[in-house]
Amino acid sequence: MSNMQKEVDAYISSFKEGYFPPMELIARLTEELGELSREVQHVYGMKKKKSTEDVSTLTEETGDLLFVLICFANAQGIELTEALDTVLNKFKTRDADRWTKKGEVE
């Protein structure tokens, strides 16, 4: 994740404008999540796209969402590897017995 953050930072830093303000990034993140949701609905849901709607892929929309999330993290000084490690540790301890593990007898 560190390499991804560095690569995004190098790209964004090549422009005078730099990172968008936090609220703009959150709005962009919400927009990208909506676009990913629309693709999931098209692929797996009942509501298919109209012929006038742009063709996209789950991969492309997931990438857009990840890019904006990395921009937000970079702008806020958040190390994503550390953030993920923290949340994984929380899930591993808090939810250790919440789900049935594979191979476990009930």
Contact 24, 30 (CB under 8 A): no
The answer to whether residue 106 scores a pLDDT higher than 70 is no
The answer to whether residue 55 scores a pLDDT higher than 80 is no
Q: Which residue has the tokens 């009930």?
A: 106
CA-based R_g, the chain, Å: 18
Q: What is each CA distance from 63 to 13, 46, 68, in whole angstroms?
A: 19, 24, 9
Residues ≥6 apart with Cβ < 8 Å to 71: 8, 12, 19, 20, 25, 28
Higher local confidence (pLDDT), 46 or 70: 70
What is the pLDDT averaged over residues 27-31?
98
Residue 90 phi, psi dihedral angles, 5° rounding = -60, -45
Residue range 57-102, pLDDT digits in tens: 999 999 999 999 999 999 999 999 999 999 999 988 988 888 888 8
